[in-house]
Amino acid sequence: MSEKAWNTKLNNDVTVPSFGLGTWLSEPGKVGAAVDVAIRYGYRHVDCAHIYGNEAEVGVALQNLFKEGIVKREDLFITSKLWNTEHSQADVIPALQVTLKNLQLDYVDLYLIHWPQDLPRGVTFAEMKDEHYLGYSEEKIADTWKGMEDAVAKGLTKSIGISNFTIKKIENLLKAAKIVPAVNQIESHPYLQQSKLKEYMDSKGITFEAYSPLGTPGRVAKGENEPYLMDDPVVKEIADKRKCTTAQILISFALHRGVIVIPKSVTPERIKSNYDAQKITLDDDEMKKLYSLEQNFRYLRFFMMKTGQTEADFWDADYDEKVVIDAPDSKRQKS
């Protein structure tokens, strides 16, 4: 058992706490308290997004912690994400300024393009119709990336990255990018390890960040007969043997893969026990068992597409399957 926190070094030499707090579906009225409990307990990394609709409350919680002297701004790693309605060079800085105002910060540590999928400006989820799903445009993403690079130059974010990008879409972006994305944030857990994508990203120096590491059980729109990851018998067996929770094993699995992991909770005991997963050292046999659970099962179903489009199209399934890369060792490190 190690008492130390896990860290990851990004391709621009910025160090990120490999474990952070997710805030998607953390309801207004609860998210501030969750951030407060987390940071007092030792969390130094919070994952936010404009579309989560709760950044202002996160901002109030952060200000209180700064005023009380619990942490300083520079002790924290705060991520936010650009929403799909703001995909042009000119849109990025104004959108980031809204996020900074809500979070009451001068800069974020990491700003991500949330999805490689365009939506018309001003259209909300409730209003979305078939004609609003503009799809993926290599040109628009390349133009948006210029705005992300402008945000770095202006000091509004320390690092920039992407989220939900496939190998094909990263290849397209790299043709135009002056700054290589520091991170790609994607769904990952034992049922969806995304090993090929990880190998590809390792070969390009792009850090893999795992969202929904616990199988995202809090969503309303769940698939029928969806497996409950935290009840998986193999995960349970390892947790029982170690007298810890299955959530802790899933978090530890990600850390041992050299992946950044950002489980969400608004429940104080879970926030704390999830953090303590960093103390677990899994052995090779346990890791082998967890790796054997791969079933290419995605919890977060992609829905922002026109009639006739498929998820396989969105995830570039055919193309990504064909890519084979020799990956260097992962950049995982413990400090």
Ligand X SMILES: NC(=O)c1ccc[n+]([C@@H]2O[C@H](COP(=O)([O-])OP(=O)(O)OC[C@H]3O[C@@H](n4cnc5c(N)ncnc54)[C@H](OP(=O)(O)O)[C@@H]3O)[C@@H](O)[C@H]2O)c1
Output the CA angle 84-85-89, nearest 5 degrees.
90
Question: In residues, how long is the chain?
Answer: 335
Nearest to 113 by CA among 45, 212, 43, 179: 179
CB burial class (10 A; 0-12, 13-18, 19+) of residue 125?
exposed
Residue 208 C-beta: closest distance to ligand X, Å: 12
80 strand-pairing partners = 111
Give the torsion sign (CA, 253, 254, 258, 263).
negative
Interior/surface letters 236-246, b for 16+ CB within 10 angstroms, e for the rest: eebbeebebbb
The separation between CA 110 and the C-alpha centre of its own chain, rounded to angstroms, equals 11
User: Of 172 and 212, which CB lies nearer to ligand X in the complex structure?
Assistant: 212
User: Of 8 and 265, which CB lies nearer to ligand X in the complex structure?
Assistant: 265
Encoding tokens for residue 247?
A: 């959530």
Query: Cα separation of 41 and 27, whole Å?
Result: 20
Residue 22 C-beta: closest distance to ligand X, Å: 2
Residue 261 C-beta: closest distance to ligand X, Å: 9
User: Of 302 and 325, which CB lies nearer to ligand X in the complex structure?
Assistant: 302
52 is annotated as an active-site residue: yes
User: Of 157 and 274, which CB lies nearer to ligand X in the complex structure?
Assistant: 274
Residue 136 C-beta: closest distance to ligand X, Å: 15
User: Alpha carbon of 334 to those of 11, 187, 195, 257, 280: distances in Å?
Assistant: 17, 23, 21, 12, 12
Residue 216 C-beta: closest distance to ligand X, Å: 3
Residue 48 C-beta: closest distance to ligand X, Å: 7
User: Of 30 and 325, which CB lies nearer to ligand X in the complex structure?
Assistant: 30
Give the torsion sign (CA, 188, 194, 197, 198).
positive
Choice among 43, 52, 111, 211 that is catalytic: 52
Binding site for ligand X (CB under 6 A): 22-25, 47, 114, 163-164, 185, 211-218, 230, 245, 247, 262-267, 270, 273-274, 300
Query: Cα separation of 7 and 9, whole Å?
Result: 7
User: Of 228 and 291, which CB lies nearer to ligand X in the complex structure?
Assistant: 228
Active-site residues, by number, are 52
